Structure 1
Amino acid sequence: MPEKRRRTTVKPPAPQDAVKSYTVTEPVQLLNFLLAKMSGKGRNSVKAVLARGQVSVNGQATTAYNFPLVPGQTVAISTEKTEEKPPLMGLSIIYEDEAILVVDKEAGLLSVASPQENEITAYRQLTAYVRSENPQNRIFVVHRLDRDTSGVMMFAKSEEVQQTLQNNWQDAVKERTYVALVEGTVHKSEGTIKSWLKESSTLKMYSSPQPGDGQLAVTNYKVMQTGNGFSLLSVNLETGRKNQIRVHMQDIGHSVAGDKKYGAKSKGIGRLGLHARLLAFTHPTTGKLMRFESPVPPVFYRFFKQH
């Protein structure tokens, strides 16, 4: 069974939790003792607490990982010096461990900026977030969502994990499902769109008429609802090409609502009608099947409300 995770909100510790004390009951090295007591934190996080001088043994601060503890000693851990996590704008963290960060991104937030741009992005915010715990921490891009696409997105916490995920993306990702609000009534209840995608000189993707000319892209869809000149589709990607859904929806004559770049005529819901609802994948280090979902924004159902 996949391991499901609920959205979690990290709150700063209450004042009374600023210092926690533990009595040593058996001989053990300090780092191993801390890892056992601070079970909610990863190894690097615990090392960072040590390095900042937030741990004392019998009242004496120590930063040595291999400090030998003996029964009867008191180990105190202070959280007072821990910097408060920077606020996140336009995204929330769904899941975090030593290897990956999974977030829910809102429409309007860039995943990653180009060198010429200097605005707030998911990447920059999450970099600041992990560095508030340890200045050496970094994050790495695994895949991207368009600025105006909302939903589930994953980052790696090391270059090794990033490469593992990217090199095995097709095998590692077990399910990648979007919800798409498209123009017009899609009469075929379900279907598969297959083409070879290429990029024009103006950076616009398009389907090549020649088999094998470009990157193979396969999109499966099912109609969820129709009405008032729009259709709501559940879209499952077999491949993850740039702008794949947007191009394929235009190819079948039902452009994503609000997507003027790819043929949309209406404003739709005032944003791109595309939401990354579900991402299921094999964890790069544990091998567990992980599954994360993001609720579909209510605005996607605007045209289908019963009166």
Structure 2
Amino acid sequence: MDIQKFFVDDMDEEKRLDLYLSDALADMSRSFIQKLIEKGKIKINGKPIKIKKHKIKANDVIEIEIPEPERLKIEAENIPVEIIYEDDDLLVVNKPQGMVVHPAPGNYQGTLVNALMYHCKNLSSINGVIRPGIVHRIDKDTSGLLMVAKNDQAHKCLAEQLKEHSINRKYIALVYGNIKEEKGTIQAPIGRDPNNRLKMAVVERNSKDAITHFRVLKRFKGYTLIEAKLETGRTHQIRVHMTYINHPLVGDPVYGPSKQKFRLKGQMLHAKTLGFRHPAKGTFMEFQADLPDYFTKLIKMLEDKYM
């Protein structure tokens, strides 16, 4: 059982308890937090509070008792997965658009983890039952390269490289509008959108530093094809940063315009390049994954009609 403490500052005075905690605990839904409140698992200044609309005060000390996660059995499934590289320590896979990386409440089947469990006898255990082997993630509707650890030692080494920002991660993205600069850097902190918990946003409070480098590959009439290089790896980073500079990704159902012109199934974002130091051998390895067919077809159409 995990107990976390929060100290309320002046800026959060009179905020609802459930809203405050849902912002502070981004991985927990508001409904789950409300259930904890109802069960008396949350205390303010040492006293259990069972009213979810309770207004907090400056200098309040909030303690939340987080129960142990339910024991789940994730099943291996015979799902085809494109493996770019594999050895005793790791795999590099090319995830298709539409595939979720790992199981989550309400979605325990059909994920990349289910497929990997069928293919591999061993995966690292650091991230628990739901995310075995998963060192980093890409969104469901983003395609491309992911590294997967087969043992805990490899996992720790790869995770440390992510933390040090030494992994080379480059994406290809198609965005709305014409970017005038040939290249640029977006440095803006990302956190949970205070107005919509399903979205991330550039915000100053409860956020983490985020840096994206980009360069223009090709311009079309009303669209730009770019390469984006991640220096940090925040949730939805490229999607949020490009929206922040008024160039949202084409096909993005969350951050893009509500009307999508090309009947796409998700954002035009592909993790093309992945380079890292091998956790056991110490040698630098780099992999490339070609753009998927739907991406190249759209680019060809833009070349024919919008150049």
Q: Please report the TM-score for the alignment, with normalisation by the length of structure 1.
A: 0.65
Structure 1 residues 157-198: Cα deviation after superposition (integer angstroms, max 9, x where no partner):
012321222133143743110000111111222111011111
Query: Does structure 1 residue 189 correspond to structure 2 residue 182?
Result: yes
Note closer, same or farther for the CA distance 1:269–1:303 as it changes in structure 2 (3 Å cut). farther
Q: Contact 1:225 / 1:231 at 8 angstroms: preserved in 2?
A: yes
Which residue in 1 is equivalent to 2:302?
Answer: 304
| Deviation of the 1:233 alpha carbon | 0.4
In structure 2, stretches of 5+ residues that fail to align are 1-75, 125-131
Equivalent of 1:106 in 92, 96, 99: 96
Give the 5 Å matches for 1:134-145. 139-145=132-138
Note closer, same or farther for the CA distance 1:195–1:172 as it changes in structure 2 (3 Å cut). closer
Structure 1: which 4+ aligned runs deviate by more than 2 Å?
A: 85-89, 136-139, 170-174, 263-269, 302-307
Letter in 1 for 2:89: A
Structure 1 residues 21-44: Cα deviation after superposition (integer angstroms, max 9, x where no partner):
xxxxxxxxxxxxxxxxxxxxxxxx
Query: Does structure 1 residue 216 correspond to structure 2 residue 214?
Result: no
Q: Contact 2:165 / 2:231 at 8 angstroms: preserved in 1?
A: no
Determine helix, strand or coil for the equivalent of 1:141. coil
Structure 1 residues 194-220: Cα deviation after superposition (integer angstroms, max 9, x where no partner):
111111361311101x3x852110011
Which residue in 2 is equivalent to 1:121?
Answer: 111
Backbone CA RMSD of aligned residues = 2.2
Q: Identity, % of aligned pairs?
A: 33
Q: Please report the TM-score for the alignment, with normalisation by the length of structure 2.
A: 0.65
Query: Does structure 1 residue 293 correspond to structure 2 residue 288?
Result: yes
Structure 1 residues 73-93: Cα deviation after superposition (integer angstroms, max 9, x where no partner):
xxxxxxxxxxxx98543x300
In structure 1, stretches of 5+ residues that fail to align are 1-84
Q: Contact 2:78 / 2:118 at 8 angstroms: preserved in 1?
A: no
Which residue in 1 is equivalent to 2:276?
Answer: 281
Note closer, same or farther for the CA distance 1:137–1:274 as it changes in structure 2 (3 Å cut). closer
Q: Contact 1:230 / 1:303 at 8 angstroms: preserved in 2?
A: no
Determine helix, strand or coil for the equivalent of 1:169. helix
Query: Does structure 1 residue 130 correspond to structure 2 residue 104?
Result: no
Counterpart CA distance in 2 for 1:276 and 1:269 is 21
Q: Which has the higher contact order (CA 8 A, sep 6+)?
A: 1
Q: Contact 1:179 / 1:235 at 8 angstroms: preserved in 2?
A: yes
Counterpart CA distance in 2 for 1:106 and 1:99 is 23
Q: Contact 2:99 / 2:141 at 8 angstroms: preserved in 1?
A: yes
| Deviation of the 1:255 alpha carbon | 0.4
Equivalent of 2:226 in 208, 213, 233: 233
Give the 5 Å matches for 1:67-86. none
* Structure richer in strand, relative to its length: 1
Counterpart CA distance in 2 for 1:302 and 1:115 is 39
Q: Contact 2:98 / 2:140 at 8 angstroms: preserved in 1?
A: yes
Which residue in 2 is equivalent to 1:155?
Answer: 148
